[in-house]
Chain A
C-alpha cells in the first residue's frame, strides 16, 4: 500500500491525514488539507513560492516528503494572521504596494516571518538575503524590501 497515516500539527491544529508516500509536504498541504495559500511555482526549490515554516525553520515544502513531517509543527501562510489582525509583515506589504500578482507573496511573507523571528532588526542586505530564495517577477523587489525595512525599523525613513 502506498498510503499511510501522518500526524502533525498544522497552524496549531493537530492533523491526522491519509497520505501517499510520494506526496511532498506541498501536496499534503494543498491537495489533502486544501491549504492552497502555499503556492507551487517550480517544484524544485528554486522559486520559494511554497515556503512554509517547519519546526521554526523556513523550508520549501516542495523539497520535503509529507512523511518527513511526522510529529512536526508546521505553519503555513494561513496560520500567519490571526482573525481580524494581519501579521505586521502582511500589513507592511499592503501599505507599501509589495504585492502585485500575489503568487509569490505567501512565500515572501513566510520568509520574512522567519527572518524577523531570527533577527528583529535586519538591515537592507539581511532582508535581500533572506528573500533571495523567493523569486518575484512583478515588483522588482523594490516595494517588498521597503515594506520589510519598515517592519524592521518602523521609525526609519520611509
Chain B
C-alpha cells in the first residue's frame, strides 16, 4: 500500500493541502507568548537549581566540600558526581545511526575526577530562590590540582603537549603508536593516486584555512524542569531535539531503568544541533530526587557560551586540487584537523565527504583527524562541518577556475557529480541535481545582471553546497475521534514547523481540511521510539510515517464502513471524508457516521513508522554581491540569492524560512561569529554583545529560489531542506571578497581586521 502511495505522489500534481503557502498552525501561541518552554513551566513547590562550574581549563578535582552550602537557609539539596554511578568511557548507547558514549554525556552534565574545560559543571545546588542558589554556589569549596592545558589544534598536536587522556591512542593510523596523544582518530577516504595526479595537472591550487569555534546561538538557553515523585518516577520537561534519546541517556547517567523516567518535550527555542545531548537534565533530576521538590534549571547566556553547552568544532585544513587546461579536475587531496573540545569522538568523516561530493575526480586522498583540547566538548551545528569544509573546498574551486580563466559556474558544471556518480565512501550518489541548479543560476538575474560599481570595491561570489542528511527512524500513531477526525501523535518534536507540515500531510491523506486534523508530539511514553529531530530528516521520514498510519486507519475505517453498509471493502472508495460505491447514486457513509456507529466497539489506533528511507541529498548554490571597505576591511553583503533543490516544498514559506535563517546563520559565522579564547582558556566573548550574531541591520534581504526535483522512493519526493543552506555561505562571501579585492581571506569568521590584513598583506 505504501509503495502505491509513493508511486501516486506527484509533487506537482493537484493537492488540497500540501504544497500550499499556509501559516504555521501553531503561530498564534508564538506571537502571543503563550507557547510554553521549560523556563516558563512551573509546578507547585518548584525550586531553582544552579550549577557550580570549573574555573580551570584542565585540573584534577582533589576534593569538594558542600557542607557550608547545605547550611545556608533556603538551600534544599546539593549534588556532585558522587551521587551518580561511575560509568566507564566507551559505555555506548544507540543514537541515530551510530552510538553515543554515556560516559561522555555524564561528563557534560557533571565532571568526575577531572575537569577538561572552563565551565564544566562540578557541583549543583537547589534552593528556594535563585538569589540563594547563587549565594550557595560561592560556599561550595573545591580543591583543584591545576594541569597544563591546550587550547588549539596546534597546541594539542605539538610534540610535548600535555595529554588530556592518558589512555588515548590515535585510531585509524597505518602504523599504530602506543604513546598518549590528543589525536583521537584518523579517517581516510582514498581512490587513485592523488599525488602523481596533482603533479601532472596543468593547474593546481593549494589553500589552507582556519575556522574558529562557533555557537549554534539558539536564543533559548538550556532549561529543564525535573520532578521525582513518591512512586519513584522521574519526569523531565525539556527543550530538546530528541526526547527519546534524552530519556535513554539520562536513565543511564542516573543509573535508573527507563521504566522510571518519562520525558515530556515542551517548546524548543531553537536547537540547530545544540540540543541533542543533555546538558543538565540529569543534574536537575538528581536534585529533584534529593530534595523531594520539582527543580527548575535554566542556564544563563554566559553559561551557554562559557562551557555550559556544546558549541561547534573549530577546524583547520589544507586542500590541494588540480585540473587539466580544459577544466577537468584530476585530483583532490586534503588533510583536516577538527577541534573536538574536551571530550573525544567528533568524527571528521562526515566533513570529509563534503570535499568530493559535488565534483567528481579519479584521484582522491582525504584525511581527517579529531583532536581534543581544553575547550567545551563540541556538538553538532546545522550540517555539522559542512560550512567549514565548503569554506576550504569552494574557495579552492573558485581559485582554480580563476587560474584556468574559466567561468566558475561552467567549471563546476564540467565536473559536477550526477545521480549514480561515486561518493567519497565509494557508494553511488542517490538522486542529485547539481546540473539543474547550475542551469537555474545561469538563467537568474542575480548571476546575469552586471554588478553595479560602488565607491568601494565590489565582487560577486558563487559557491555550491552539499549535504547528505540521513533518515533513521520515525514513528507516529493516529486514532479516530468519535466525530471521525484523525488525531495524530508524533514521535518528533517540532523544531522547524513539523506539526504544520504533518498536519498538511494528514489532511491530504484524509482529504479533510487542516482544521479537521489534530497533530501533537507525544511524550517518551506515549508514542514509539523516534530518532532526534536533526540531519534534515523529520519532514521526510515523519511524512512517510503519517502516510503509513493514515492508510492503515483509512483501511480500518473502510472495513467498518463496509460492514455497516453490508458491502465488501473492495466495493468502496474513499472520497473527502466519505466511503461510497463506484455508482454515483449508490450508498455512501461519512467517516463520522462510521465512528458514531462503531466507536464503542473498539478504538481505531494505527501506527505508522519509517526507517531507512532513501537519503534526501541536499544541494544548493548561492550567489552574493559584497562591498568591502578598503580602509577597514568591513564586508557588506549587498545581495544574496540561494538556490536549492528541495524535492517538493510541502510548505513553501516554511522551506524558505529554513533557507533564509540558515543563510543568515552562515553570514554570522562567515563574518562576525567566532569564539575567542584567552591564554587562560576562558572564552573572552561569552556574551551576545561580543559573540556577534547578525542583527536585522547586518544582513540583506535573502532571495530564495526553490527547485523541485523529487527524490524517488520518498513520499512526495521530499528532500532534506534545513541543513545545506548554511554550507556554501562563508565560501560564497569569501569568493565575492576575493573577486572584489583580489585577496583570499582564509580565516573564518572573516572579521574586518582579518580582511584588512589579507588586503594589506600583498
Contact = CB atoms under 8 A, between A and B. Distances in A.
A140 B301 contact: no
Interface in B643-681: 653-654, 656-657, 660-665
Given A90-B32, A109-B31, A136-B219, A36 B40 contact: yes
Contacts of A131: 695-696
B688 A41 contact: yes
A97 interface: yes
A100 B497 contact: yes
B30 A37 contact: no
B70 interface: no
B89 interface: no
A135 B688 contact: yes
Nearest to A37: B33
Interface string A97-108: 101111111100
Nearest to B269: A103
B237 to A, nearest CB: 13
B87 interface: no
A87 B33 CA distance: 13
Nearest to A23: B131
Q: How large is the interface on B (under 10, 10 to 19, 20 to 34, 35 or more residues)?
A: 35 or more
Interface stretch (B20-28, B502-510, B572-580): B20-28
Interface string A120-157: 00000001110111111111111111000000000000
Contact of A36 (B39, B495, B653): B39
Contact of A132 (B131, B300, B495, B697): B697
Nearest to B690: A46
B36 A36 contact: yes
A47 interface: yes
B696 A144 contact: yes
Contact of A97 (B33, B220, B653, B695): B653
Contact of B664 (A76, A104, A140): A140
Contacts of B702: 140, 142
Given A39-B269, A101-B495, A102-B35, A139 B657 contact: yes
Contact of A99 (B27, B34, B301): B27
B317 interface: no
Interface in A8-36: 20, 22, 27, 30, 34, 36
Contacts of A140: 657, 660-665, 699, 702
B496 A100 contact: yes
Contacts of A44: 301, 687-689
Interface string B119-133: 000000000011100
A151 B216 CA distance: 31
Interface in B248-281: 267-270, 272
B31 A90 contact: yes
A99 B298 CA distance: 23
Contacts of B301: 41-44, 46-47
A20 B609 CA distance: 52
Q: How large is the interface on A (under 10, 10 to 19, 20 to 34, 35 or more residues)?
A: 35 or more
Nearest to A95: B23
Given A97-B653, A103-B269, A128-B697, A46 B131 contact: no
A100 B24 CA distance: 9
Contacts of B657: 97, 100, 138-140, 142-143
Interface string A73-116: 00011101100001001100111110111111110010000000
Contacts of B29: 102
A101 B219 contact: yes
A58 interface: no
Given A93-B27, A97-B654, A145-B696, A104 B219 contact: yes
Contact of A94 (B23, B699, B701): B23
Contact of B131 (A22, A80, A109, A136): A22
A142 B701 contact: yes
B696 A132 contact: yes
B220 to A, nearest CB: 4
**Residue from B37, B497, B656, B688 with most neighbouring chain A CB atoms (10 Å):** B688
B697 A129 contact: yes
Contacts of B699: 140-141
A39 B37 CA distance: 9
Contacts of B660: 139-143
B218 interface: yes
Contacts of A104: 219
A97 B269 contact: no
Contacts of A137: 216-219, 270, 272, 661, 665, 693
B97 interface: no
Contact of B37 (A47, A96, A103, A132): A103
A99 B219 contact: no
A41 B219 contact: yes
B254 to A, nearest CB: 28
A97 B131 CA distance: 39
A79 B697 CA distance: 28
A81 B663 contact: no
B220 A39 contact: yes
A49 B221 CA distance: 12
A38 interface: yes
Interface string B30-60: 1111111101101000000000000000000
Contacts of B661: 100, 137-140
Contact of B33 (A36, A129, A133, A144): A36
Contacts of A132: 695-697
A3 B656 CA distance: 50
Interface in B112-169: 129-131
B32 to A, nearest CB: 6
B36 A102 contact: no
**Residue from B31, B497, B657 with most neighbouring chain A CB atoms (10 Å):** B31
A20 B268 contact: no
Contacts of A106: 31-33
Given A41-B220, A137-B272, A140-B661, A77 B131 contact: no
A81 B28 CA distance: 11
Given A20-B131, A86-B32, A47 B219 contact: yes
A142 B24 CA distance: 16
Nearest to B703: A142
A43 B39 CA distance: 13
A86 B28 contact: yes
29 contacts: A20-B129, A36-B33, A36-B39, A36-B42, A37-B32, A41-B221, A43-B300, A43-B301, A46-B688, A47-B301, A93-B31, A94-B23, A94-B28, A97-B23, A97-B24, A101-B267, A102-B31, A105-B30, A127-B696, A131-B696, A137-B665, A139-B657, A140-B661, A140-B665, A140-B702, A141-B660, A141-B699, A142-B660, A143-B660
Interface of B: 23-24, 27-37, 39-40, 42, 129-131, 216-221, 267-270, 272, 298, 300-301, 495-497, 653-654, 656-657, 660-665, 687-689, 693, 695-697, 699, 701-702
Query: Which 5 pairs from chain A and chain B are nearest by CB?
Result: A37-B33, A103-B269, A102-B30, A140-B664, A36-B40
Given A30-B40, A141-B696, 13 more contacts: A36-B33, A36-B36, A44-B688, A46-B689, A90-B31, A94-B23, A100-B657, A100-B661, A102-B31, A133-B695, A136-B219, A137-B272, A140-B665
